[in-house]
Amino acid sequence: MQVTSPAFKQNATRALADVTLQKAMKNVETGFIAKRAKAAEALPEFEALRDAARDLKTHVLKHLDLYLEAYEKKVIASGGHVHWAESAEDARRIVTDICKRLGARTVTKGKSMITEEIALNDHLEKEGLIPVETDLGEYIIQLRGEHPSHIIAPAVHLTKEQVAGDFRRVHTHLDAGRDLTEPVTLLSEARAVLREKFLLADVGITGANFLVAETGTSIIVTNEGNGDLTQTLPKAHVVVASIEKIVPTLEDVDTLLRVLARSATGQEMSVYTTFSTGPRRDGDPDGPGEYHVVLLDNGRSAMLGTEFEEMLRCIRCGACMNHCPVYQQIGGHAYGWVYPGPMGAVLTPTLVGVDKAGHLPNASTLCGRCESVCPMRIPLPKMMRAWRNREWERALNPAALRTGLGLWASVATRPALYRLAARAASLGMRLLGRGGRIARLPFFAAGWTANRDMPAPEGATFMDQWKAKGGRSA
Amino acid sequence: MNARDAILGKIRRARVVGDDAARRATVTDRLAAHRPGIVPARGEGDAAHRLALFLEMADKVSASTERLASADDVPAAVARYLRSKNLPQAIRRGIDPRLAGLPFDREPQLTVAVGPSDGHDLAGLSHAFAGVAETGTVVLVSGADNPTTLNFLPEHHLVVVRASEIAGNYEAVWARVRAEWGAGEMPRAINWITGPSRSGDIEQTILLGAHGPRSLHLLVVDDG
């Protein structure tokens, strides 16, 4: 997909003014946060499990090459095929080749962020195939020609009225007078339409939440059951997964599963957790005839050994964005690429370049809520700061910001000048204040008060008060 | 260089590895030992505790449950369930001997089809490999005994679970899987099912029956 991250500021401004989006985004605040808190509280071992999950993934990243080799061996032994892809382009070609060899036409898809990352649908369409998203949220946004705005709730930016409108526009074979006012009728309609696609599909493509080195198993976690129908019914099941999804053993998977759903939707466990190992066996009455895994690097190996390595622990639960005050206000599309919110602010610059995505790690107050809820204890604010540093080193920030910060630094390193300037600013701001609040700042500072006011200083500067109270100044 | 060697090479260069033999030993050991991590205490306890917790957790995820004194009561329970939902007296199952041997002839109205589903069945009957008390989960295993399609295509999924096979936690299930299939081996598919299908994709309103079954009915046989 096209990267619109460079236009983050315009995207965000538009999002803030979008009344429908603002209405839809309220659901994130009221839904996910309370549910996660309740689930975490209901499990006394939850915090200890987060530590264990962190340590587990840290161990995997130290031995990633060896676990990948072990995993590959087991997949082959169970009759499956492993394809290695260095880039998005390689992965797309591998998937298309499999589809073409099988003479496929309809391709069903389980929800998968990795296939969003490699823009697989566009590619399949260009190759004459018909990709059908089967997760309800993904199906809705596919109808709209949009991309997911959230990694686990792709259509969270939409209201039910918008969905009803899309269904009427696309499902023209259905009675035009039908009632679509309630989510339940929308769900039934999607179920009926997609059921036909499931039975028609030649190839089913899913992502993987985890890959198990011990057994050569891929795991998907869903609530709808669409991923299972996607992978069970067609001739071939193609798993597209990035290399860091590897987990050593089934017991290690248990640890991650115990934090995944709780952090994501606040469920104790998702409805369907499916462990797939190879194709249909002798005597099996169902299941795919072929089983393929595409192992994708796409920039991940380059994160190893850098200050961004810890990002590879991410299990894509979405808790960081659910709890992010910035994400809650602007939604996922404003971030301009596949991964939004705090995890996107760290990952996007890595994968598309900080020159394009530099705004993202800056769109944070560094309040730390993301890190406080991350089941893998990824230090997201620290990594956003690291991106800011890199941006600064590479002089990618706007000239005004660089000049301003340079000016501030030269004043801040001269104590007498700094105190004088602080006194002047404090006095000036008191003069601007009305009833204790400042509604509008002048000149270059006007942007700050465009969407908010601020309290006026109440008295002398801290340094002056300190002195007056007999404290010693350095 | 092929993509495989290129990716593995990049990983090795980035990770500046020390003693390769020691790393290999660490990995081999971890895979062979498959040590349990932190296991929630809630699943610990005797069979009665596990059964009670299983029923409680299943109820929390909107699965319905019914206790049966004997497996022979399953056909009557199936017929009763279908009547209660105003469904035709028809169900589909696999060739699992634990189901095939049940006295379905006691329910003359009930038609029992055998084999995988093609999507036209309203109700499917499976026998679980295990139950998990920790989260009210049932574990199903692929194969002719219990075809995977029965878990997902029918609108109503009825699953027989033996009380004696309700484990406290997932780790206990893995121990049984290894005993049955061998270390490092798995059946083609293992499905953990925790409640009926659902979606919250429209305005975060949770609705049951997204693509999989709208209802999951667990028939717990007291064989303990």
A235 belongs to a structural domain:
yes
Query: What does the pLDDT look like over B53-90, one tens digit per residue?
Result: 999 999 999 999 999 999 999 999 999 999 999 999 99
Question: Among the three residues A260, A275, A301, which one is the final residue of a domain in this structure?
Answer: A301
Query: What does the pLDDT look like over B145-174, one tens digit per residue?
Result: 999 999 999 999 999 999 999 999 999 999
Q: How confident is the model at residue A199 (pLDDT cuts 50, 70, 90)?
A: very high
CB-CB neighbors (< 8 A) of A61 in chain B: 15
A260 vs A38, A49, A50, A282, A370, CA distance in Å?
14, 11, 10, 34, 15
Query: What does the pLDDT look like over A200-233, one tens digit per residue?
Result: 999 999 999 999 999 999 999 999 999 999 999 9
A377 belongs to a structural domain:
no
pLDDT of residue B3: 97
The shortest CB-CB distance from B211 to any of A160, A194, A248 is to A194
Residue A376 pLDDT exceeds 70: yes
CB contact under 8 A, B31 and A214: yes
A322 belongs to a structural domain:
no
A331 belongs to a structural domain:
no
Task: Determine contact, residues B39/B194, Cβ cutoff 8 Å.
Answer: no
CB-CB neighbors (< 8 A) of A27 in chain B: 203-204
The overall average pLDDT reported for chain B is: 96
Residue B16 pLDDT exceeds 70: no
pLDDT of residue A405: 87
Mean local confidence (pLDDT), A57-83:
97
- Name the minimum distance, in Å, from the CA of B153 to any CA of chain A: 8
CB contact under 8 A, B189 and A44: no
A310 belongs to a structural domain:
no
Chain A 375-404, CB below 8 Å of chain B: which residues? Answer: none
Planar angle of CA A269, A274, A275, nearest 5 degrees: 125
3-class DSSP state of B208: strand
pLDDT of residue A452: 81
The burial of A175, by beta-carbon neighbours within 10 Å (0-12 exposed, 13-18 middle, 19 or more buried), is given as: exposed
Residue partners of B23: CB distance under 8 A and separation at least 6: A62, A63, A66, B17
- Are A274 and A418 members of one domain? no
Is A318 an interface residue toward B (CB < 8 Å)? no
Residue with tokens 């809650």: A328
Q: How confident is the model at residue A472 (pLDDT cuts 50, 70, 90)?
A: low
Mean local confidence (pLDDT), A127-136:
96
Is A96 an interface residue toward B (CB < 8 Å)? no
- Are A286 and A421 members of one domain? no
Q: Which residue of A has its CA nearest to B192?
A: A273
User: In this structure, what DSSP letter does residue A155 have?
Assistant: T
Is A282 an interface residue toward B (CB < 8 Å)? no
Greater confidence, B16 or A156? A156
Give the number of other Cβ atoms within 10 Å of residue B13's Cβ.
12
A185 belongs to a structural domain:
yes
Residue partners of A214: CB distance under 8 A and separation at least 6: A70, A74, A248, A249, A250, B31, B34, B184
Question: Among the three residues A301, A321, A345, which one is the final residue of a domain in this structure?
Answer: A301
pLDDT of residue A463: 84
CB contact under 8 A, B116 and A285: yes
- Are A296 and A411 members of one domain? no
A383 belongs to a structural domain:
no
| pTM of the full structure | 0.94
CB contact under 8 A, B192 and A273: yes
- Are A414 and A283 members of one domain? no
DSSP letters, A406-462, are HHHHHHHTSHHHHHHHHHHHHHHHHHH-BTTEE----GGGGGGGSS--EEPP-SS-H
Domain that holds residue A458: 407-468
pLDDT of residue B17: 64
- Are A427 and A284 members of one domain? no
The overall average pLDDT reported for chain A is: 94
- What is the C-alpha to C-alpha distance for residues A271 and A263, in angstroms, rounded to an integer? 15
Q: What is the ipTM of this complex?
A: 0.98
Question: Among the three residues A301, A318, A333, which one is the final residue of a domain in this structure?
Answer: A301
pLDDT of residue A450: 80
Residue A474 pLDDT exceeds 60: no
Domains of chain B: 1-33 (no CATH), 42-221 (3.40.50.10420)
What CATH number does the domain containing A103 carry?
A: 3.40.50.10420
- Name the minimum distance, in Å, from the CA of B65 to any CA of chain A: 16
Residue A130 pLDDT exceeds 70: yes
pLDDT of residue A400: 82
pLDDT of residue A443: 80
- Are A292 and A411 members of one domain? no
- Are A412 and A291 members of one domain? no
Task: Report the domain count for chain A.
Answer: 2
A285 belongs to a structural domain:
yes
CB contact under 8 A, A228 and B15: no
